[in-house]
């Protein structure tokens, strides 16, 4: 059988008292003081009650090793015993004390025997163990030195104590006393001391017993005090033994009060004296057990000077300037927390903390750290509190095994929330150890222990809970966390403590909030008197008490993992408690409702925005916010209340940021089934005809939904019934109006008061209001007031959002009187159901959807959660056009187009939509196209004539009155119809490219298309493809024809100038070179130019354009008499060919051509290749561009001409003797010989003239200057 975690406890299950040994009254303190636990009366209980876990055993070994380290090295040692309150530091030291003291009982107890056996050096050495409790101390020296003197006097009565106080003042007072008393009386009294000059010790009582010490030699074994010995000892340069002997004698006799009342020696010096003294008593080491030392230092942090002075002394326990001491001093210091990171209060400056941290940091490495962690508590609690009675172990085991917790509950109870590297969730085994407590409760107590009084450790509280529940709780329940509250937050908790002032104040505020606010509210709601015991309350009230208690605990200890950033669900799960239904209905929702109600009452309670499982925060600060509200009461006016409610309603209906229309309505754009719609919202008092006229109940825009919103309050004496009667009395119109009237129930007087408070808060938080109403407050107080008011505003605003949803029927919580349902439709056929939603806004959205669903029941269901973009409609229209233009009536889809067509086309039944393509033909359009045609005929339209877009739209709308198609949807039908019937688009009697869907205009015409001969079409698209690179669908229809026409004209416009220029330049060259009949290149250029001119002339006639293109193709598949490749390259490279030919036709290159031609004629058969160069150029330029590009041919010509001129220069006659050598070191006479050539057509003439100048061998320099022209 499995347990329901919230079922009632089984009446047959045994009580806690039957399973565990639980006293009727609190019996154990669980708080051990070191000095009270090691005497003979308590030692056995101390040792026998000690639970040695694996972790504790490891730490005890470490402590004994620490002692042995000091004994082996002779050096002082120091160790921290670190652990939180209740972690057992004092108990640990008490057991350590007993082991080091060699107590026989430590050898009898099995758990302690390994320590004795493993550490013989520490156990068998003679150690002077001293216990110190620091709470209430003045200084470290005072506690240690005073404690040493007191404890040694008890251990060794009659032994002369060491001098641990300063001697300077003592000797001065002694000299004054000597003067008053006289030497005889003074030294007689002084010689009564046991301490004699030079450190000698008088044998106590020897003379009084009549023993003659002279028999041992000399008059005495010591010499007494006299003026000489006194003066010698008090001299500052005397041996320390002599000064100490005099100080000891004086404090034993004349100045006995100095032993405890004078100024103590510095700590290091005093420790050294203690060490020496302990050695004289036969000890091998001194062990200092320093309990509460760190806690004592914590209490003085606020006094920086004192704290710094005392904290720095810790280092002297392990190292000083006195060198190695007679015997080692080994210290154990109980440490609740690290002083370096302790914060006294939240206002303490970070720089102060950092300075303290640095000051203490160097100590850390000098002390060993023995960590007594809280992980031992489950095992300790199990051994000390939760050991079952004989025969009950199986009962306990079975009860635990029957626990069946939902994962979200077990995770909380196992303390698995807010886990970190240092905090991990507990296991079910750990749960079993502490059952019926939960790990979450145990961990909470551990973390709260520093904030509780010393007497309230985790174990102490756990025992109290067991005692409290021993007679009422059965073993099949788990103790709720909230039940620990009363044992933590008591009337004196924290008030008598020292330490963090902010924590103390939080406890006080938490106690005040509970006693004065939250507890009275819970009792008031339960109808119970405050004197009623909690156990006598209804279970729902008890559950709320636990909820509130846990919330306050979370505020007091926000660092506790299970309480940190606590959520509503965690508050419930921590208090699911004894397996009973704490909240009626057993869910977090009811708990959250309670918490929201509390937040409405108290601004200290803050609920986050997460509506499902919000974080609940309690601020425990005293802030005078209510005084500020009272001072600003006059800011609460009826108009401001009205404006605030309208603001809330505006947010709920999503019209807050919309400009008001002339009639005060607000037009909101919404998306319904993927299409944009309009909703007109108007606020007003429905019963008041002066505020809302009859016309205000009807929409301004055709097809828009109008929502009339009444307000949830009215003037005194008026009721919602009057609003309902006004609606019922509205006049009837011919056409049922598309209007909904929303009539709420009114706010209660208490809710109106809250509304007024929110109005005041809004006004106070305005800059001028805040300045006026907080002027008397100090800066910190004003800031705190602002924070509270801002949170209060958030809380109240959230409450009113919820309340508005309730009074308008959008959320449960209010019962509407019969006949006063909140929603009334002015269309009798529209039967509205109650809209629901998590918010008023969501309910409004569903109401709008419901209204449009009724208005247009046959609207296509587009697969879209928001208004479909025009771009998506364009994707679909493009796909339809491409499919209609394709010979196979289909087109492949891009990713975007595929998404759009699935969303839009599928519900319209226009095309067959597949994953990657669509099919659009007579088989896929269903009856839509024929229905549109029939509607056009019925309206008197001739289908063979042009149809206007507006006429087609009207026909489509007439066919679909119950669909309420959007403009974009209607235009998609228009585009589909046009593509399906292969019509062309015209505007102002001119054909245009098919427009995008957002460019449709009602005046545009859709004309039937005259199609060309199919054979001409096929030839034309081939010519267009080869000549212009145009690719269009081969299927002959209007769209493809228009597409071809537009693209061809674009290509003509692009290439026509280049074709014309090419033809011109080729004509010039042909004339110069006298080529005679047209060559291939010239003929193709002329034909191309003529074709482009012809196409341009028929640019407005698509059929003629197709025919001209078709005529350019011959039966042998040639285009303009050339191959398709030759024709294409000639046109595409016309511009570059023209540039090259224009350069060739220039003066210089023409001159080169003439030179070659003349030389070839003058030197037939011996022209150095001139004729060959000319023939190669002519052959290249006569051929098609595809074969030899013009620029390459001309570059080749220039290269060959250069080579020819070089050959010519070498051939010219040179009959003169060896040229004269000019001595360039001399300055030869130079002569300028100008040669001017005009109208040069043959370069050989220039070359011959230059050659004549070199016949005598004289070097020449030739400079050629071009004198204008080309």
Task: Quote the tokens at residue 752.
Answer: 């109106």
Q: Report the alpha-carbon distance of residue 644 to residue 635 in Å, rounded.
A: 13
Asked whether residue 169 falls in the same domain as residue 155, the answer is: no
Write the pLDDT tens digit of every residue in 169-225. Answer: 677 778 888 888 888 888 888 888 877 886 565 544 334 334 343 433 334 445 788
DSSP string of 107-124? HHSTTTHHHHHH-HHHHH
Q: Report the alpha-carbon distance of residue 419 to residue 556 in Å, rounded.
A: 20
Asked whether residue 500 falls in the same domain as residue 549, the answer is: yes
Indicate whether 274 belongs to any domain.
no
Half-sphere exposure of residue 1009, counting CA atoms within 13 Å on the CB side? 25
Q: Which residues contact 935 (CB under 8 A, 6 or more apart)?
A: 955, 956, 958, 959
- pLDDT at residue 493 tops 60: no
Indicate whether 211 belongs to any domain.
no
Q: How many CB atoms lie within 10 A of CB 580?
A: 17
Question: For 1239, left (φ over 0), alpha (ψ -120 to 50), or beta?
Answer: left
Closest CA to 459 of 420, 489, 487, 480: 487
pLDDT at 500: 53
Mean residue pLDDT of the chain comes to 82
Indicate whether 258 belongs to any domain.
yes
Q: Report the alpha-carbon distance of residue 618 to residue 595 in Å, rounded.
A: 11
pLDDT at 624: 81
CATH of residue 91's domain is 3.40.50
Q: Report the alpha-carbon distance of residue 438 to residue 483 in Å, rounded.
A: 12
Which of 242-246, 481-485, 678-682, 998-1002 has the weakest average pLDDT? 242-246
Write the pLDDT tens digit of every residue in 1114-1162. Answer: 878 899 989 999 889 989 998 998 988 888 887 677 788 888 888 888 8
Q: Give me the mean pLDDT over the 479-499 stretch.
A: 67
Task: Quote the tokens at residue 1269.
Answer: 């022209």
pLDDT at 1038: 79
Q: 400 falls in which pLDDT band (50, 70, 90)?
A: confident
Residue pair 285/328 in contact by the 8 Å Cβ criterion: yes
Q: 1252 falls in which pLDDT band (50, 70, 90)?
A: low
- pLDDT at residue 52 tops 90: no
Write the pLDDT tens digit of every residue in 932-948. Answer: 999 999 999 998 899 99
How far is Cα of residue 896 from the mean position of the Cα atoms in its chain?
33
Asked whether residue 596 falls in the same domain as residue 476, the answer is: yes
- pLDDT at residue 1241 tops 60: no
Asked whether residue 844 falls in the same domain as residue 884, the answer is: no
Question: What radius of gyration, in Å, describes the C-alpha atoms of the chain?
Answer: 55
Write the pLDDT tens digit of every residue in 805-817. Answer: 999 988 887 888 8
- pLDDT at residue 558 tops 90: no
Full 3-state SS string of 1009-1034? CCCCCHHHHHHHHHHHHHHHCCCCCC
* N-terminal to C-terminal alpha carbon distance within the chain: 114
843 φ, ψ to 5°?
Answer: -65, -40
For 363, the domain range is 47-160+280-371
End of a domain among 823, 855, 887?
A: 855
Strand partners, 158: none
Write the pLDDT tens digit of every residue in 583-634. Answer: 444 567 888 889 988 988 888 888 887 767 899 999 887 778 888 888 889 9
pLDDT at 1003: 94
Q: 791 falls in which pLDDT band (50, 70, 90)?
A: confident
Asked whether residue 395 falls in the same domain as residue 504, the answer is: yes
Output helix, strand, coil percentages for the chain, rounded to the nearest 5: 50, 10, 40
pLDDT at 345: 45
pLDDT at 445: 83
Q: Report the alpha-carbon distance of residue 1043 to residue 1105 in Å, rounded.
A: 12
**Residue 1076: is it exposed, middle or buried by C-beta count within 10 angstroms (0-12/13-18/19+)?**
exposed
Residue pair 620/555 in contact by the 8 Å Cβ criterion: yes
Q: Report the alpha-carbon distance of residue 1247 to residue 1235 in Å, rounded.
A: 11
Indicate whether 382 belongs to any domain.
no
Residue pair 474/318 in contact by the 8 Å Cβ criterion: no
Q: 774 falls in which pLDDT band (50, 70, 90)?
A: confident
Q: Report the alpha-carbon distance of residue 415 to residue 1251 in Å, rounded.
A: 113
Asked whether residue 402 falls in the same domain as residue 314, the answer is: no
- pLDDT at residue 683 tops 60: yes
Asked whether residue 612 falls in the same domain as residue 718, the answer is: no
In the numeric block, the tokens 């603001």 are attached to 647
The SS3 assignment for 1213 reads: coil
pLDDT greater at residue 1206 or residue 576: 1206
The number of folded domains in the chain is 7
Q: Report the alpha-carbon distance of residue 418 to residue 870 in Å, rounded.
A: 49
- pLDDT at residue 312 tops 90: no
Asked whether residue 412 falls in the same domain as residue 561, the answer is: yes
Q: Report the alpha-carbon distance of residue 85 to residue 102 in Å, rounded.
A: 28
Report CA torsion sign: 603, 609, 612, 614: negative
Q: Report the alpha-carbon distance of residue 1106 to residue 1012 in Å, rounded.
A: 7
Q: Report the alpha-carbon distance of residue 536 to residue 310 in Å, rounded.
A: 54
End of a domain among 592, 622, 652?
A: 622
Write the pLDDT tens digit of every residue in 419-448. Answer: 776 667 778 888 888 888 888 888 888 877
Residue pair 973/932 in contact by the 8 Å Cβ criterion: yes
Indicate whether 256 belongs to any domain.
yes
Q: Give me the mean pLDDT over the 231-252 stretch.
A: 72
pLDDT at 221: 44
Q: Give me the mean pLDDT over the 1014-1043 stretch.
A: 86
In the chain, the percentage of residues whose pLDDT exceeds 70 is 84
Q: How far is CA 238 from CA 224, 471, 689, 1104, in A?
A: 17, 75, 114, 137
Residue pair 553/488 in contact by the 8 Å Cβ criterion: yes
Burial 929-942 (b: 16+ CB within 10 A, else e): beebeebbeeeebe
In the chain, the percentage of residues whose pLDDT exceeds 90 is 23
Asked whether residue 1080 falls in the same domain as residue 1194, the answer is: yes
End of a domain among 321, 344, 371?
A: 371
Q: Give me the mean pLDDT over the 727-734 stretch.
A: 85
pLDDT at 1259: 61
pLDDT at 1023: 93
pLDDT at 496: 41
pLDDT at 424: 74
Asked whether residue 962 falls in the same domain as residue 1037, the answer is: no
Asked whether residue 307 falls in the same domain as residue 412, the answer is: no
Indicate whether 269 belongs to any domain.
no
745 φ, ψ to 5°?
Answer: -80, 160
Q: What is the DSSP letter of 201?
A: B
Q: Give me the mean pLDDT over the 22-45 stretch.
A: 60
- pLDDT at residue 678 tops 90: yes
Write the pLDDT tens digit of every residue in 897-923. Answer: 899 888 888 888 788 888 889 998 888
Residue pair 817/729 in contact by the 8 Å Cβ criterion: no
Q: 879 falls in which pLDDT band (50, 70, 90)?
A: very high
Asked whether residue 1076 falls in the same domain as residue 1095, the answer is: yes
Number of residues assigned to the chain: 1270
Burial 643-682 (b: 16+ CB within 10 A, else e): ebbbebbbbbbbbeeeeeeeeebbbbebbbbbbebbbbbb
Which of 1050-1059, 1066-1075, 1097-1106 has the weakest average pLDDT? 1066-1075
pLDDT at 1144: 82
Q: 1233 falls in which pLDDT band (50, 70, 90)?
A: low
Q: Which residues contact 878 (CB under 8 A, 6 or more apart)?
A: 897
pLDDT at 320: 76
Half-sphere exposure of residue 931, counting CA atoms within 13 Å on the CB side? 14
Q: Report the alpha-carbon distance of residue 415 to residue 437 in Å, rounded.
A: 12
Element (H, E) at 895: helix 895-908
- pLDDT at residue 123 tops 90: no
DSSP string of 333-370? EEESS-GGG--SSTTS-HHHHHHHHHHHHHHHTTSEEE
Strand order in the sheet with 947-948: 947-948, 1005-1007, 984-987, 990-992
Q: 763 falls in which pLDDT band (50, 70, 90)?
A: very high
Indicate whether 121 belongs to any domain.
yes
pLDDT greater at residue 387 or residue 1232: 387
Indicate whether 791 belongs to any domain.
yes
Q: What is the pTM of this model?
A: 0.54
- pLDDT at residue 684 tops 50: yes
The SS3 assignment for 894 reads: coil
Q: Report the alpha-carbon distance of residue 875 to residue 863 in Å, rounded.
A: 16
Q: Give me the mean pLDDT over the 1072-1081 stretch.
A: 78
- pLDDT at residue 285 tops 90: yes
pLDDT at 35: 55
Strand partners, 947: 1006
Strand partners, 264: 165
pLDDT at 848: 92
Q: How far is CA 437 from CA 559, 803, 1065, in A?
A: 21, 40, 106
Closest CA to 930 of 890, 964, 881, 981: 981
């Amino acid at each position: 059988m499995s347990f329901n975690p919230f079922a009632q406890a089984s009446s047959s299950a045994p009580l806690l008292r039957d399973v565990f040994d639980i006293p009727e009254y609190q019996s154990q303190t669980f708080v051990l003081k070191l000095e009270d636990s090691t005497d003979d009366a308590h030692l056995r209980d101390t040792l026998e009650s000690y639970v040695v876990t694996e972790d504790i055993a490891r730490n005890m070994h470490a402590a004994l090793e620490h002692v042995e380290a000091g004994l082996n090295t002779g050096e002082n040692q120091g160790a921290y015993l670190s652990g939180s309150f209740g972690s057992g530091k004092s108990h640990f030291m008490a057991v350590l004390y007993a082991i080091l003291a060699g107590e026989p009982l430590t050898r009898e107890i099995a758990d302690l025997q390994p320590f004795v056996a493993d550490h013989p050096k520490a156990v068998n050495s003679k150690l002077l163990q001293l216990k110190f409790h620091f709470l209430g101390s003045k200084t470290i020296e005072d506690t240690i030195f005073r404690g040493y003197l007191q404890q040694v006097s008890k251990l060794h009565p009659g032994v002369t104590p060491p001098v641990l106080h300063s001697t300077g003042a003592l000797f001065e007072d002694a000299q004054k006393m000597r003067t008053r008393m006289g030497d005889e009386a003074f030294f007689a009294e002084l010689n009564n001391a046991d301490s004699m000059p030079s450190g000698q010790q008088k044998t106590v009582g020897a003379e009084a017993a009549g023993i003659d010490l002279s028999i041992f030699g000399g008059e005495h074994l010591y010499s007494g005090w006299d003026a000489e010995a006194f003066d010698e000892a008090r001299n500052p340069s005397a041996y320390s033994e002599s000064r100490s002997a005099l100080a000891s004698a004086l404090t034993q006799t004349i100045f006995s009060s100095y032993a405890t009342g004078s100024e103590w020696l510095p700590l290091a010096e005093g420790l050294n004296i203690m060490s020496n003294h302990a050695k004289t008593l036969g000890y091998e080491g001194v062990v200092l057990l320093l309990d509460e030392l760190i806690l004592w230092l914590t209490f003085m942090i606020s006094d920086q000077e004192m704290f710094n002075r005392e904290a720095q002394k810790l280092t002297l326990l392990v190292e000083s300037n006195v060198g190695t001491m007679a015997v080692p001093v080994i210290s154990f210091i109980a440490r609740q927390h690290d002083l370096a990171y302790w914060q006294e209060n939240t206002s303490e400056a970070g720089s102060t903390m950092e300075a303290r941290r640095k000051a203490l940091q160097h100590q850390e490495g000098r002390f060993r750290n023995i960590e007594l962690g809280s992980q031992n508590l489950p095992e300790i609690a199990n051994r000390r509190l939760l050991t079952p009675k004989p025969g009950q172990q199986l009962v306990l085991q079975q009860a635990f095994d029957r626990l069946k917790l939902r994962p979200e509950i077990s995770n909380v109870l196992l303390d698995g929330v807010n886990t970190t590297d240092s905090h991990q969730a507990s296991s079910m085994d750990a749960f079993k150890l502490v059952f019926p407590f939960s790990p979450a409760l145990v961990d909470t107590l551990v973390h709260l222990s520093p904030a509780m009084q010393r007497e309230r450790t985790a174990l102490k509280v756990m025992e109290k809970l067991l005692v409290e529940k021993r007679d009422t709780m059965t073993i099949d329940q788990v103790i709720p966390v909230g039940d620990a509250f009363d044992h933590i937050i008591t009337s004196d908790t924290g008030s008598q403590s020292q330490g963090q002032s902010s924590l103390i104040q939080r406890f006080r505020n938490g106690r005040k909030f509970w006693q004065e606010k939250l507890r009275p509210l819970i009792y008031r709601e339960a109808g119970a008197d405050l004197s009623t015991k909690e156990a006598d309350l209804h279970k729902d009230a008890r559950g709320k008490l636990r909820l509130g208690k846990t919330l306050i605990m979370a505020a007091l200890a926000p660092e506790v993992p299970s309480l940190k950033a606590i959520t509503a669900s965690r508050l419930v799960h921590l208090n699911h408690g004894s397996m009973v239904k704490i909240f009626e209905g057993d869910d977090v929702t009811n708990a959250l409702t309670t918490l929201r109600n509390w937040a409405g009452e108290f601004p200290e309670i803050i609920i986050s925005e997460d509506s499902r499982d919000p974080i609940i925060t309690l601020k425990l600060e005293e802030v005078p916010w209510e005084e500020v509200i009272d001072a600003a009461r006059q800011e609460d006016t009826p108009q401001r209340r009205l404006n605030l409610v309208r603001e809330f309603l505006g947010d709920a209906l999503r019209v807050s940021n919309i400009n008001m229309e002339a009639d005060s309505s607000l037009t909101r754009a919404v998306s319904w089934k993927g299409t944009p719609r309009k909703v007109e919202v108007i606020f007003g008092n429905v019963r008041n005809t002066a505020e809302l006229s009859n016309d205000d109940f009807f929409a301004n825009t055709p097809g828009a939904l109008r929502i009339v919103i009444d307000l949830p309050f009215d003037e005194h004496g008026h009721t919602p019934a009057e609003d309902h009667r006004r609606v019922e009395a509205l006049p009837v119109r011919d056409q049922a109006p598309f209007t909904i009237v929303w009539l709420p129930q009114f706010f209660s007087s208490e809710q109106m008061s809250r509304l007024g408070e929110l109005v005041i808060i809004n006004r106070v938080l305005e800059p001028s209001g805040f300045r006026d109403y907080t002027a008397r407050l100090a800066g910190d107080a004003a800031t705190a007031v602002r924070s509270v008011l801002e949170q209060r505003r958030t809380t109240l605003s959230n409450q009113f959002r919820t309340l508005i949803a309730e009074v308008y029927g959008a959320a449960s919580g209010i019962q509407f009187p019969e006949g006063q349902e909140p929603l009334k439709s002015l269309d009798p056929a529209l039967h509205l159901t109650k809209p629901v939603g998590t918010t008023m806004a969501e309910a409004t959205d569903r109401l709008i959807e419901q209204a449009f669903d009724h208005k247009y029941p046959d609207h296509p269901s587009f697969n879209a959660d928001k208004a479909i973009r025009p771009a998506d409609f364009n994707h679909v229209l493009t796909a339809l056009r491409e499919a209609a233009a394709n010979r196979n009536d289909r087109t492949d889809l891009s990713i975007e187009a595929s998404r759009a067509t699935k969303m839009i086309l599928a519900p319209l039944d226009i095309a067959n939509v597949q994953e990657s393509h669509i099919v659009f033909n007579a088989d896929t359009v269903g009856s839509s196209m024929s229905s549109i045609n029939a509607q056009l005929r019925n309206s008197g339209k001739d289908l063979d004539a042009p149809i206007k877009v507006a006429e087609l739209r009207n026909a489509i709308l007439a066919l679909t009155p119950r669909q309420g198609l959007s403009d974009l949807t209607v235009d998609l039908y228009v585009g589909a119809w046009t593509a399906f019937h292969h019509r062309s688009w015209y505007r102002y009697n001119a054909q245009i490219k098919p427009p995008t869907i957002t460019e449709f205009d009602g005046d545009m015409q859709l004309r039937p298309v005259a199609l060309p001969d199919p054979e001409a079409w096929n030839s034309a698209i081939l010519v267009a493809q080869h000549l212009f690179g145009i690719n269009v669908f081969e299927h002959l229809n209007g769209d493809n024809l228009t597409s071809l026409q537009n693209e061809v004209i674009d290509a003509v416009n692009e290439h026509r100038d280049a074709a014309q220029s090419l033809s011109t330049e080729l004509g010039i060259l042909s004339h110069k070179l006298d080529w005679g009949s047209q060559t291939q290149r010239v003929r193709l250029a002329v034909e191309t130019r003529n074709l482009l001119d012809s196409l341009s002339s028929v640019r407005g006639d698509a059929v003629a354009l197709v025919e001209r293109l078709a005529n350019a193709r011959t039966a042998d598949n040639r285009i303009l008499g050339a191959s398709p490749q030759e024709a294409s390259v000639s046109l595409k490279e016309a511009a570059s060919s023209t540039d090259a030919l224009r350069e060739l036709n220039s003066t210089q290159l023409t001159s080169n051509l003439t030179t070659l031609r003349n030389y070839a004629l003058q030197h037939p058969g011996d022209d150095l290749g001139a004729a060959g160069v000319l023939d190669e150029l002519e052959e290249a330029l006569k051929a098609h561009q595809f074969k030899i590009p013009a620029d390459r041919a001309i570059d080749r010509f220039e290269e060959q001409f250069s080579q020819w001129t070089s050959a010519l220069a070498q051939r010219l006659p040179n009959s003169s003797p060896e040229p004269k050598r000019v001595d360039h070191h001399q300055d030869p006479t130079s002569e300028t010989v100008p040669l001017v050539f005009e109208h040069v057509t043959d370069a050989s003439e220039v070359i011959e003239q230059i050659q004549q100048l070199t016949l005598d061998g004289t070097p020449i320099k030739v400079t050629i200057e071009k004198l204008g022209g080309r």
